[in-house]
Structure 1
Amino acid sequence: MLRRVEHVMGFPVSLRIDDEGAWDAVADEAFAWLRAVDRRFSPFRADSEVCRLDRGEPAAGAVSADLAQVLGLCEEYRTATGGAFDARLPGRGLDPCAVVKGWSVQRAAELLTAAGARRFCLNAGGDVVVSGGPWRVGIRHPEDAGRVCAVLEVTDGAVATSGRYERGDHILDGRTGRPATGLLSLTVLAPTLTEADATATAAFALGEEGVAWAAARAGCEVFAVDAGRRVVRTAGVPMAGVS
């Protein structure tokens, strides 16, 4: 069994593996991958691949396969939301973080699975991938950091939340360039964190219409609190309890 916490990509990442055995080398590999992603894809590091691409170096056709995949996902969500989700907002540099986080943590989870881990929880700043549950995943109350507003019971899958409570109005609606304020928080349960995290951010950018948009995506379940403090959830959300 293993328990480890490291600060990566600007937030705490915790790993718990409940399978018996020696997992330190596998954990080292997973965290090394996340640190490499931060170096390569951060929009805040002048020497990252993202920043170099944004400056026009290298040419667009010379990007790595990983960055090409991330940019393809960004374009997929931009198109699906009619531009509400956009990694290239006017007046700002290229910022694919809303896709990179979930994509990279999902890849780390896949490293664990490939190494034989069957029961684990990988938590990246509140966005979670679990395997071999059931695991209980709390959704933070959007107006009270000391409370949860729901608890999900998840066996295998991922949970991601977008909200205004940690960083304020940081998610912008790409159609207007203004902060998205129609929701207080929106949580997505999906088979992978790649899908859960990007869908949560894209849906939040859409505002109130984002709840139905996210719920219509294959494999996604949604729990949301709108600006009027009304709770909306899809029928398939695996509730373990509500406070």
Structure 2
Amino acid sequence: MTGWGPGERCDGAAPAEEGTDAMWTDEQPRTRWVDPTVFRFRRPDLRLGAREQRPDRADLVAGDRIAVRHTVRTSTAAYTLLLNAPEWLGRRGTGEALRDAVAELRAIDLTYGPNRPDSLVSRLRRGEISPESYPPLTDLVDRCAAMRAATDGWFDAWAVPGGFDPGGLLGGWAVERAAARLREAGIHDYAVLTGADLVVRGQAAHGGPWRVAVHHPTDRGRAPLLLEMTAGALGTSGVTGRQGHVVDPHTGEPAGQLVAATVIGPDLAVADAYATALYAAGPAGLAWFRPESDYRVLFAAPR
């Protein structure tokens, strides 16, 4: 079982040699694990698993870059967007990009939320439409099917009361679609957070990689894991405080082997689904994460 603390790689490999300050999770310099003694003088840009981030109003600051922080709430989640937009985009262009990303998050909540009787997911359950009726719905269903195969059925959007429920990856899917809106507008340096999930790309406002502190889900006395990221996502399951929110798809009973599971990789929808499946499967799920995989277990905390 993956532990919690410095000196272990996300993929369970041996610690770095004495004297090194970081370990790369893949061959590209996208995410690195930072030694706390080096990181302690650098304030984290983002914290996961700490107290909920306070909703802030959008704040545009002109300079070499335009820094924006904005929090939006939908019926099911709160999302915080931090943008580091290029100066050429201007205040108006940056504001329009932010509005587009927020609109995408709200639209997905309204259009695909499984708890909304008129959503496409609810209509699909009732047999009123097919998965091919709308291209984004097709993508959502296909992703769920792919993750069911990748996790030996431990992520199964069809093994729930009432039929199809993509909730285990819907939040990550929404964030990735909102992030795509930002890139289409010309913003390639950003972070989007929801709960203990995160997507980052490019650089933070200080001009370096995004500094991420990942706190232990239950033991606040432990030092956080510290990462520097320029691209990637962290998906977490089990830290919402809700009991029984993840069930064993094979038995229908609430999962209970882990306190929480966090998976790191390129895409948040996939990382979210892996984390949900790992939370349900427990230690058996570690077999999915092979050395050549783009997705790694950051931690899996047993009860």
Which category describes the TM-score, using the shorter chain as reference length?
0.7 to 0.9
1:25-51 Cα offsets, whole Å, 9 max, x none, are 101001101111111111111111111
User: Of the candidates 72, 81, 84, which is equivalent to residue 15 of structure 1?
Assistant: 81
1:66 aligned to 2:141?
Answer: no
Structure 2 equivalent of residue 55 of structure 1: 126
After TM superposition, list the pairs within 5 Å mapping 1:38-187 onto structure 2: 38-58=109-129, 60=130, 62-133=132-203, 134-144=209-219, 149-187=224-262
* SS of equivalent to 2:260: strand
User: Displacement of 1:55 after TM fit?
Assistant: 0.9
- TM-score normalised according to structure 1 size: 0.85
1:54-86 Cα offsets, whole Å, 9 max, x none, are 11112x265211111111111111122222211
Distance 1:152 1:167, change over 3 A: farther
Q: RMSD of the alignment, in Å?
A: 2.1
State which structure, 1 or 2, has the greater radius of gyration over its C-alpha atoms.
Answer: 2
Q: Which runs of 5+ in 2 are unaligned?
A: 1-66, 204-208
Structure 2 distance, partners of 1:39, 1:150, is 35
1:191 aligned to 2:269?
Answer: no
Structure 1 equivalent of residue 281 of structure 2: 206
Structure 2 equivalent of residue 32 of structure 1: 103
* SS of equivalent to 1:92: coil
Residues 85 and 206, structure 1, Cα contact 8 Å, conserved in 2: no
Structure 2 distance, partners of 1:201, 1:71, is 16
Report sequence identity in percent: 38
Structure 2 equivalent of residue 5 of structure 1: 71
- TM-score normalised according to structure 2 size: 0.69
Structure 2 equivalent of residue 218 of structure 1: 293
Structure 2 distance, partners of 1:79, 1:36, is 28
Moved more, 139-148 or 201-210: 139-148
User: Displacement of 1:92 after TM fit?
Assistant: 3.3
Q: Which runs of 5+ in 1 are unaligned?
A: 229-243
Distance 1:215 1:150, change over 3 A: farther
Residues 199 and 214, structure 1, Cα contact 8 Å, conserved in 2: no
* SS of equivalent to 1:170: coil
Structure 1 distance, partners of 2:212, 2:260, is 15
Structure 1 distance, partners of 2:73, 2:202, is 25
Residues 154 and 277, structure 2, Cα contact 8 Å, conserved in 1: yes
Q: How many residue pairs end up in the alignment?
A: 227
Q: Which has the higher contact order (CA 8 A, sep 6+)?
A: 2
Distance 1:165 1:30, change over 3 A: closer
Distance 1:165 1:50, change over 3 A: closer
Pick the structure with more strand per residue: 1
Distance 1:216 1:167, change over 3 A: farther
